[in-house]
Amino acid sequence: MLVQIAGITSVPPSFLPEPVRQSHVFQTAANSYVLIVDGSRIYAIDAEMAAQLRSDPGNSTHLLEGLSLLDPDRPRIAAEAPESVPVRSLSLAVAQKCNLACTYCYAQEGSFGSEPKNMEHEAALRSVELLFRSASAGESVNLAFLGGEPLVNRPLIRDCTKLAAQTGKSQSVRTNFSITTNGTLLTPDDGRFFEEYGFAVTISLDGIGEVHDSQRSFQSGKGSYARIIENVRPLLAMQRQMQVSARVTVTPGNLRLKDTLDQLLALGFHSVGFSPMLHAPSGRGEMDQAALDEMLAQMIECGETFERRTALGERYAFSNLATAMREIHKGTHRPYPCGAGGGYFGVSADGGLYACHRFVEDPNAKFGDVWNGVDPATQKTWLAQRHVHTQSPCSGCWARYLCGGGCHHEVIHRGRPACDYIRGWLEYCLQAYVRLQASTPEYFA
């Protein structure tokens, strides 16, 4: 028989789909559950039903039809890729240059393999215009500043922000601002500016002290950790409208995630998140299978602390799990990993439009420029080719609508070495979700 858990609808046994591809059975110490892949619905089931689902390797459509009869309104992924998506998010490479020399940098010390340069004023102003061109009152847009190191071109960041805020206000469009910075050039005055405009500030930090320094040094070879912490402290103390988070790029050299998480949270970061290094132009720092296995174990250790602390009513800002809880709770499912080439583009210093900030200067992912906008034919082809249904082996993977097929940039350059890691993490997130639903339902209120 089926069991209903708080906030999750139960279904009669005869309407359950079969496993493999269309469903995924998972287990906690207390119960068994099934995820219905297309629709991201979770149902509690008994052990007998779980065993039945697990033992049937087929993909019977009549059971799926049974389920859709039961819940005909559940959102489903359209079989066809969309032909176009309007621009709602831009990241500006305001400086294609950097003062650090990180071992794994995807942007080749910020220049993306071309001449180091700052973005011209005209290209930046046109970017803001493009961002608001088709946005209607009540909608939201996102303007991000990246590089290289964006604070190398501080005046342009400020001019663009003021213009976008003004335009958003006059069009009644909500404008969200973010910046990803290495933190070495930050000043208290930057903090006041980011606070005024409610920025999401992400600081790239790869660990504590020497661990960070071994991956992120100045071009002279000197470590950057001490400078960053000195610079970022005043911003951490200022956070009201602004949120200052840390992003850790994980390589085989900095796998002690739990220690890193606890120490960065103790410094006062709003949240801390981890991302595996899967592709570097230099090949340095790329994660192999053993390192991904270790990372998964560490992520779960961080997650278990998140669960314990959340159940106690405490905030433990491990952003990977907090985001996963929010998305699973919303029933998010998607045929792409991100908005790249859809509603989101990266703008190069000379005004070129690329699939995202990592594709800047890549002619195979160029969609036009900020003067003429997105080329519709290029976008249509990209959306069709990058749809998860066209990706192998994603089209048969139970995690496809939670994962979306993996970062396009990494997949194109390295393939999919991290699928076991992704599925292992998602499996844990599903378990954590049903446990939190039972122990702390108010967390989702």
* Contact positions vs ligand SF4 (CB under 6 A): 337-338, 340, 356, 358, 393-394, 397, 399-400, 403, 405-409, 416, 419, 422-423
Burial of 133 (0-12, 13-18, 19+ CB in 10 A): exposed
What is the pairing mode between strands 366-369 and 352-354?
Answer: antiparallel
Q: CB 124 → ligand SF4: shortest distance, Å?
A: 20
As a whole number of angstroms, the distance between CA 165 and CA 171 comes to 10
Question: Of the two residues 130 and 403, which places its CB atom closer to ligand SF4 in the complex?
Answer: 403
Q: CB 405 → ligand SF4: shortest distance, Å?
A: 5
Q: CB 290 → ligand SF4: shortest distance, Å?
A: 18
Q: Which residues pair with 23 in a beta bridge?
A: 36
Q: CB 311 → ligand SF4: shortest distance, Å?
A: 29
Judge whether 264 and 272 are in contact, CB under 8 Å: yes
- Helices and strands per DSSP (H, E), number in the chain: 14, 15
In sign, the C-alpha dihedral spanning 431, 434, 440, 445 is positive
Q: CB 76 → ligand SF4: shortest distance, Å?
A: 17
Cα-Cα-Cα-Cα torsion 401, 406, 412, 416, nearest 10 degrees, comes to -110
Burial of 306 (0-12, 13-18, 19+ CB in 10 A): buried
As a whole number of angstroms, the distance between CA 150 and CA 143 comes to 13
- Tokens standing for 341? 């080439």
What is the pairing mode between strands 41-45 and 2-3?
Answer: antiparallel
Q: CB 264 → ligand SF4: shortest distance, Å?
A: 22
Question: Of the two residues 144 and 173, which places its CB atom closer to ligand SF4 in the complex?
Answer: 144
Q: CB 77 → ligand SF4: shortest distance, Å?
A: 12
Question: Of the two residues 32 and 91, which places its CB atom closer to ligand SF4 in the complex?
Answer: 91
Q: CB 320 → ligand SF4: shortest distance, Å?
A: 14
Question: Of the two residues 307 and 427, which places its CB atom closer to ligand SF4 in the complex?
Answer: 427
CA distances from 68 to 75, 345, 423 (A): 10, 36, 25
At position 308, the amino acid (one-letter code) is R
Question: Of the two residues 318 and 425, which places its CB atom closer to ligand SF4 in the complex?
Answer: 425
Question: Of the two residues 400 and 435, which places its CB atom closer to ligand SF4 in the complex?
Answer: 400
Judge whether 95 and 119 are in contact, CB under 8 Å: yes
Judge whether 203 and 235 are in contact, CB under 8 Å: no
Judge whether 207 and 250 are in contact, CB under 8 Å: no
As a whole number of angstroms, the distance between CA 165 and CA 167 comes to 6
Question: Of the two residues 162 and 414, which places its CB atom closer to ligand SF4 in the complex?
Answer: 414
Question: Of the two residues 92 and 394, which places its CB atom closer to ligand SF4 in the complex?
Answer: 394
Q: CB 62 → ligand SF4: shortest distance, Å?
A: 25
Question: Of the two residues 49 and 295, which places its CB atom closer to ligand SF4 in the complex?
Answer: 295
